[in-house]
Amino acid sequence: MNWIKLILAALFETGWVIGLAHADSAVEWLITLVSVTCSFYLLLNATKYLPVGTAYSIFVGLGATLVTVVDVAVYEVPLGWQKVLLITILILGVIGLKLATEEETV
């Protein structure tokens, strides 16, 4: 359940990062604010039960990957081989951290 909270936190992170870059109206800024709040609430809640370093690395890694994917898919930002390579390395690192982390049972 804590890993799901962490993934949801990364999804909300994607929302607020995109919101900071593209929000133009009061409603969009409100959605961005809600995304920030939900993102950090879920992250802080998950880190009560998961190792902080691992959780934060996964949070940032997934968020950065998702923001890049949205930039390419929605905002037509070019995707070069360098970005693909670096995202692949980032994802492999996130998977490695997850596999190397023992979850405490509470």
Predicted TM-score of the model (pTM): 0.83
Rounded average pLDDT over 85-90? 93
Distance separating alpha carbons of residues 77 and 70, to the nearest angstrom: 9
Distance, first Cα to last Cα, the chain: 11
Burial of 53 from C-beta contacts in 10 A (0-12 / 13-18 / 19+): exposed
pLDDT at 103: 63
User: Please, which pLDDT band fits residue 53 given cuts at 50, 70 and 90?
Assistant: confident
Distance separating alpha carbons of residues 89 and 81, to the nearest angstrom: 12
